Structure formats: structure tokens, C-alpha cells
């Protein structure tokens, strides 16, 4: 892509599968509402690129992909219930600390634990309910676990992750027998020659690389109407609470597999929403890190200006344990130089059940409240828990730049400009692939449209390839975006309201998966932290009709220690996580509840009513413009 090339009329582009009358406005006048519907834009790299097909045969690739994750091939409810009952469950919900305690006493070892998760994956992910969250398992996982068990006996454990299995999102390089494809057959070929830095650090910490988790292909940075969790290679990842519900994305498999107890924890990536949204919707903890705290080297990129890597775990303590193994300056990623003096190799030291006592928290409502009653009810209940735990709530404490920030123009301009350059740079590190740049990826998808484009097109790829955005325009948009997200956004709220963190609802409950029209988002709070490059932690905050809803804590750069403390204190007070039952669909008893509930919507909370009353007469309820 030439930065100085004038933009082509997008109406002349073959928008694979798009309707003739669909909006085709390009960057230059980028409309987030119509263009940037990137299912969950996430993925610190959550995009991949091109290699040969399965054994060089598109036909074989299509056969391998056919029906993957297809709800039409799900077992009957009775068969699913039988599979769940028969699957091993004795270590479900066990924390990393509990597993280590069992290992230290000789009641458990890494080999047994690895076999346990592999058995659950075989019984419940690949068969039975077919959650379809794991793209492939590591054929060497048992051997790695056995070697770590021998090492434990001879030398003792390396640390808290010794012998603990982990799934990596399939956009994180591993130089082993696993593939790294970002869900695309374009990258199915020779393995990367070097581990991603975060993968190498987990190996060094003694973790067992169990396999690769499914994801939204190219981190949902391919089409304007994609389905989160779908990839050509893996099919549709499902939500473990109700299998017909969406797991969000793009770190869909990471969140779903962690919640379903197919792994102890998983690594996820985010550009804007793909750590926190799947965590919230799948009922787990997600830590979206300060940009530069974790290395992106060896992670398929979208934009070096927003991509990050972080953990999915069932508890804040587990997520904090994992984070300590990931951090550190990395010569392969210059952005990590800024983390010097800001990172800790042990974030569990900040776990404080009393951290909410006296904590001043800002309640951001504009763009997040007043449009989904289930989300509002969960959020209000979470606020009551925060207050009961001693927090001082400043309500409202809205971002002054919300309208400009959520318009998305500057953010999309930066991402559309960065992606062609960043993906080409990544592809140069891969050997033996048939693709080397974005144009090659577009051509590959066109050549294998029956596999890759069977449900949605590649409009975002085409926009990025033909945007005509100049380096100067991208640089100015980056300045604007940082101003709106930092100086006039998160930092303005923290300073103006004298608060140490901002709390918001992470997402609305999971929608029903729709491969025809794509995702159905209603609310997402990821953009301010994503654009600013600031930390954002989501923790299970409540449920609506059996579907999880997360509560978010957002702060300024390098504030992970304090956010972890606050999130942990809330988690201990709320105890909101519920283990998923892998049900095919929401039971009628949940959809049409007979509980004592008023026929009309329940009365608004005092806080929410006061905030709505404060809005200027006739003004629309502020809300997020577009998708995460």
C-alpha cells in the first residue's frame, strides 16, 4: 500500500458477498456506525496471513472446515447432558494456587492435569456440546508435562505456573508442532521459526502449552458484518453458558475455553475490546494491559498503536499470577521499553480484599447506561456492592470527550493506515508462506471464497488496501485519538473528579449468534482504554437470564496494581461468577420467567434516574457509536 496513493472509489471494488446497495463509504470520511462494525475489533495482533492450504489442497481444507462449530450438527439436549455428566470435573474451577498446593503435596502432577483438560476438550469441546473453543491441541503437551514433573522432583518448581496448562489464542506464534493461523487457511503452513515473546515467557515459567484457542478470523478485522468467534479454519466458537449465544471476540476461544474449564487460563489479545468483551460475556476475568507492558513480538498485528496481550482467567488472582510471567522489556518490541520501572513480576502482591474501603471511583454513564435494562440492572447492583464494600462513588463521572472518541473517525484512520504495513512486517517473519502482504491475503480469500468468504466478505481488508490515507493524516489522527482518550478522556475524569479508577458495565449480555447478519452489539466500554493504551480489567459482575455481565475498572497508564486490587476486592464481595452448564439454549424458564417480576420494566435506580434527569431536554441517550 502506498501512503500517497489517492483513494479509489470504493463502489468499484468487488466487496465479496456485500449487497449492491450497502454503504461503501471509505476512510477520509470514515463512518464508524456503518464501516467500523468490526464485531469485536480486538486482537493485539489478532489477524493473520497467508500460507498454503491444508496439505496444499483447498478441497481438503474445505472438508476439514465444513461444519466446524455448526449449530446444526449439535447433539441433542439429552446427549449434551449425558456428555457433561460423564466428563471429568474434579478440578473444575480450581485456581492456580489450589492446583499448585495439590502438586506440592503430591496429590496431583502436571501430566494428570494436562490429561484432565485434554479429556474435557475431547468430550465437551470436540464432541457432545461441541463448544468448539479449541482450534487444535498440542501433540507434545503430555511430553512437556512429563518433563516438567521430572524437573519438579529433581529441582523443585520454577514458579507458580510450573505444570499449569494454558491455551494461546491462534494469533500468537509458537515454534512447535502447533499452527499459528489467526483462523485463516491463508496462514496454514510451516510453523513460525520463533515463539512469540509471551509464549516463550510462559514456557520459561513452566506452563504447559496445551494448544491454540479459536478466534474471530483476523480478529474481526476483515468484514463489517462478521460473526464474532467464526473463522474459516475453525468455524463458530460457542458460548459455554448457552451454545446458541455468541462468545464475543476476537479472543472468543480464549474466553470460552477458560470459562468451560478446558484450561487453567488462556492468553488473549486486544486492539479494541477483544480481551474484555469475551471475558465479560463468558464470565471470566480479563486484563487488558497498558500498551507496552506485554510484548507483541510474534503476535499477528492489527496496529502497533493499540495491540496488547493479556490473560483470561477464572479469578483475579489467577489473572494476576499470569500477568507477572508476561511482563518485561523485550528488544523485539520497542514499545516495551516504556515499561521499565513500571512492571512487576508478581502482581499477586496487590491482591487486597479491603482495597475498596475509602476508594474513590468514578461512575461513567454516558455511552454506557440507559439503553439496555439488563445491563443497567446488573451495573446498579454492582454499584451497590462497591458502596457496601466501602467505596466512595462519584456519580456521574462521564468522559468529556465521549462523543468525539466514540465517533471512531480518528481511531479507524490510524488502524486502517497501520494494518497494511504491520501485517506485511509480520509476514516477513514467516517462511514458506504464499502470502507476503495484504494484497496477497485479499487474493487468497477471493481464490478460496467458498471457504473463507462463505458468510461475510473482506470489506475492511479492501478499505485498508485502498484507503489512500497518508502518513501525515494518520499521525494527526493518532494525536487526536490520544487527546480524546487520554487528556480529555480517562485522565480528565481521574483528575476532575479526584477518583483513582473509572467503573463501567463491560458489555450487554451475549446475543444469539447470527452468521447471516453478524453481531448484534448494544454496549461496549472498551474504546477509551484501547485508544489511550491504558489498562482495563473486567471481572464477573452479575448475570441476566443466566448470561454473565462484567464490571470494568479502568485507570491511567501503568495502574495495573491498583486496578487489580480494586477488581479483586469487588470479586471477593460479589462472588458473581457461575460455572457454565453448556446448555444448548436458554431454557424456557429463563426466557419466560415466572419469578415475581412486574409486567413493565422495573423502576430505575435512583442513580440512573438522576443521571437521565440531568441530560439536556430532548437530547438522545448517549451511547457507543458502533462496535468494539
pLDDT at position 19, please? Answer: 30
With CA atoms as reference, report the closest residue to 218 among 17, 422, 523, 13. Answer: 422
Q: Is the pLDDT of residue 603 over 60?
A: no
Give the pairing of strands 501-505 and 360-363: parallel
In a domain, 138, yes or no: yes
In a domain, 133, yes or no: yes
Joined together, the cell numbers standing for residue 471 give: 502518513
If you write DSSP's letter for every residue of 529-581 in order, what string do you get?
HHHHT--EEEEEEEEETTEEEEEEEE-STT-HHHHHHHHHHHHHHH-------
pLDDT in tens, 233-274: 999 999 999 999 999 999 999 999 999 999 999 999 999 999
Is residue 269 a contact partner of residue 173, using CB atoms and an 8 Å limit? no
pLDDT at position 522, please? Answer: 84
Joined together, the cell numbers standing for residue 608 give: 440512573
Given CA atoms 250, 483, 537, 406 in this order, what sign does their dihedral have? Answer: negative
pLDDT at position 228, please? Answer: 97
* pLDDT-based confidence at residue 614 (cuts at 50, 70, 90): low
Q: Which ranges constitute the DSSP H helices of 125-281?
A: 141-155, 197-204, 252-259, 276-281
Joined together, the cell numbers standing for residue 616 give: 439536556
Q: CA-CA distances (angstroms) from residue 421 to 41, 214, 410, 416?
A: 18, 25, 18, 10
Print the domain residue range for 145. 46-587+601-610
Provide the number of structural domains found in the chain: 1
pLDDT at position 588, please? Answer: 80
pLDDT at position 34, please? Answer: 30
Q: Taking all residues of the chain, what is their mean pLDDT, rounded to a whole number?
A: 87
In a domain, 523, yes or no: yes
- pTM equals 0.87
Q: Is the pLDDT of residue 65 over 50?
A: no
pLDDT at position 157, please? Answer: 98
Query: Rounded mean pLDDT of 350-361?
Result: 98
Q: Is the pLDDT of residue 457 over 60?
A: yes
CA angle 303, 309, 313 (to 5 degrees): 145
Given CA atoms 41, 44, 46, 52 in this order, what sign does their dihedral have? Answer: positive
In a domain, 509, yes or no: yes
C-alpha–C-alpha distance, residues 50 and 438, integer Å: 9
Q: CA-CA distances (angstroms) from residue 404 to 17, 221, 305, 469, 497?
A: 32, 22, 19, 20, 20
Q: Is the pLDDT of residue 427 over 60?
A: yes
Q: CA-CA distances (angstroms) from residue 560 to 180, 472, 611?
A: 29, 33, 29
pLDDT at position 606, please? Answer: 67
The β-bridge partners of 268 are: 310
Give the pairing of strands 208-213 and 134-137: antiparallel
* pLDDT-based confidence at residue 381 (cuts at 50, 70, 90): very high
Residues with active-site annotation: 169, 250, 274
pLDDT in tens, 89-116: 999 999 999 999 999 999 999 999 999 9
In a domain, 146, yes or no: yes
Query: Rounded mean pLDDT of 570-587?
Result: 97
pLDDT at position 610, please? Answer: 67
In a domain, 7, yes or no: no
Is residue 213 a contact partner of residue 36, using CB atoms and an 8 Å limit? no
Q: Is the pLDDT of residue 200 over 90?
A: yes
Q: Directed axis angle between helix 438-447 and helix 409-427, to 10°?
A: 90
pLDDT in tens, 27-59: 333 333 333 333 333 333 333 223 333 333 334
How many Å separate Cα 18 from the centre of its chain?
26
Residue 173's domain is classified under what CATH number? 3.90.1300.10
C-alpha–C-alpha distance, residues 119 and 121, integer Å: 5
* pLDDT-based confidence at residue 541 (cuts at 50, 70, 90): very high
In a domain, 560, yes or no: yes
In a domain, 36, yes or no: no
pLDDT at position 612, please? Answer: 58
* pLDDT-based confidence at residue 370 (cuts at 50, 70, 90): confident
Q: Is the pLDDT of residue 71 over 60?
A: no
What is the four-CA torsion angle of 586, 587, 590, 591, rounded to 10 degrees? 70
Burial class (CB in 10 A: 0-12, 13-18, 19+), 563: buried
pLDDT at position 617, please? Answer: 53
With CA atoms as reference, report the closest residue to 557 among 482, 481, 466. Answer: 482
pLDDT in tens, 389-425: 999 999 999 999 998 998 899 999 999 999 999 999 9
Amino acid at each position: 500500500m502506498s501512503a500517497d496513493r489517492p483513494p479509489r472509489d470504493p463502489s468499484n471494488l468487488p466487496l465479496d458477498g456485500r449487497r449492491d446497495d450497502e454503504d461503501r463509504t471509505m476512510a477520509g470520511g470514515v463512518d464508524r456506525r456503518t464501516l467500523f462494525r468490526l464485531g469485536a475489533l480486538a486482537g493485539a495482533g489478532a489477524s493473520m496471513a497467508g500460507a498454503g492450504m491444508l496439505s496444499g489442497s483447498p478441497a481438503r481444507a474445505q472438508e476439514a472446515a465444513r461444519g466446524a462449530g455448526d449449530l446444526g450438527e449439535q447433539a441433542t439436549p439429552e446427549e449434551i447432558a449425558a456428555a457433561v455428566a460423564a466428563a471429568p470435573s474434579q478440578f473444575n474451577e480450581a485456581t492456580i494456587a489450589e492446583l499448585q498446593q495439590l502438586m506440592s503435596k503430591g496429590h496431583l502432577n502436571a501430566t494428570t492435569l494436562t490429561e484432565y483438560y485434554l479429556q474435557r476438550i475431547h468430550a465437551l469441546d470436540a464432541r457432545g456440546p461441541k463448544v468448539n473453543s479449541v482450534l487444535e491441541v498440542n501433540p507434545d503437551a503430555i511430553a512437556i508435562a512429563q518433563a516438567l514433573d521430572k524437573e519438579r522432583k529433581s529441582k523443585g518448581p520454577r514458579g507458580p505456573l510450573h505444570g499449569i496448562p494454558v491455551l494461546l489464542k491462534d494469533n500468537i506464534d509458537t515454534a512447535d508442532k502447533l499452527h499459528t493461523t489467526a483462523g485463516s487457511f491463508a496462514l496454514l503452513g510451516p510453523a513460525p521459526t520463533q515463539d512469540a515473546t509471551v509464549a516463550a515467557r510462559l514456557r520459561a515459567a513452566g506452563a504447559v502449552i496445551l494448544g491454540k484457542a479459536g478466534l474471530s478470523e483476523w480478529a474481526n478485522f476483515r468484514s463489517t458484518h462478521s460473526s464474532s468467534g467464526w473463522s474459516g479454519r475453525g468455524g463458530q466458537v460457542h458460548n459455554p453458558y448457552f451454545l446458541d449465544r455468541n462468545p464475543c471476540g476476537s479472543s472468543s476461544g480464549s474466553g470460552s475455553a477458560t470459562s468451560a474449564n478446558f484450561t487453567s487460563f488462556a492468553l488473549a489479545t486486544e486492539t479494541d475490546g477483544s480481551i474484555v468483551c469475551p471475558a465479560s460475556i463468558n464470565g471470566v476475568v480479563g486484563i487488558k494491559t497498558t500498551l507496552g507492558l506485554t510484548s507483541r513480538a510474534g503476535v499477528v498485528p492489527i496496529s502497533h498503536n493499540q495491540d496488547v496481550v493479556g490473560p483470561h482467567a477464572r479469578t483475579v488472582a489467577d489473572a494476576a499470577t499470569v500477568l507477572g510471567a508476561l511482563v518485561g522489556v523485550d528488544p523485539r518490541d520497542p514499545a516495551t521499553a516504556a515499561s521499565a520501572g513500571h512492571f512487576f513480576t508478581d502482581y499477586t502482591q496487590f491482591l487486597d480484599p479491603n482495597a475498596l474501603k475509602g476508594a474513590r471511583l468514578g461512575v461513567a454513564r454516558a455511552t454506557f447506561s440507559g439503553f439496555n435494562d439488563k445491563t443497567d440492572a446488573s451495573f446498579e447492583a454492582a454499584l451497590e456492592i462497591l458502596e457496601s464494600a466501602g467505596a466512595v462513588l462519584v456519580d456521574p463521572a462521564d468522559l468529556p470527550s465521549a462523543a468525539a472518541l466514540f465517533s471512531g473517525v480518528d481511531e479507524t484512520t490510524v488502524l486502517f493506515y497501520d494494518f497494511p504495513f504491520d501485517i506485511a512486517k509480520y509476514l516477513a517473519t514467516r517462511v514458506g508462506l504464499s502470502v507476503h502482504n495484504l494484497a496477497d491475503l485479499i487474493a487468497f480469500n477471493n481464490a478460496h471464497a467458498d471457504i473463507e468468504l462463505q458468510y461475510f466478505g473482506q470489506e475492511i481488508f479492501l478499505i485498508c488496501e485502498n484507503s489512500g490515507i497518508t502518513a501525515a493524516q494518520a499521525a494527526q489522527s493518532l494525536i487526536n485519538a490520544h487527546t480524546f482518550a487520554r487528556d480529555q478522556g480517562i485522565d480528565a475524569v481521574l483528575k476532575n473528579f479526584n477518583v483513582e479508577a473509572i467503573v463501567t458495565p463491560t458489555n450487554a449480555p451475549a446475543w444469539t449468534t447470527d452468521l447471516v447478519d453478524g453481531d448484534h452489539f448494544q454496549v461496549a466500554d472498551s474504546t477509551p482504554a484501547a485508544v489511550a493504551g491504558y489498562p482495563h480489567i473486567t471481572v464477573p459482575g452479575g448475570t441476566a437470564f443466566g448470561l454473565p455481565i462484567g464490571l470494568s475498572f479502568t485507570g491511567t497508564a501503568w495502574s495495573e496494581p491498583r486496578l487489580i486490587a480494586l477488581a479483586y476486592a469487588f470479586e471477593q464481595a460479589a462472588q458473581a461468577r457461575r460455572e457454565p452448564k453448556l446448555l444448548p439454549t436458554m431454557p424456557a424458564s429463563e426466557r419466560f420467567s415466572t419469578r415475581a417480576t412486574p409486567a413493565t420494566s422495573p423502576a430505575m435506580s435512583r442513580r440512573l434516574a438522576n443521571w437521565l434527569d440531568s441530560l439536556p431536554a430532548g437530547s438522545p441517550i448517549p451511547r457507543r457509536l458502533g462496535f468494539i
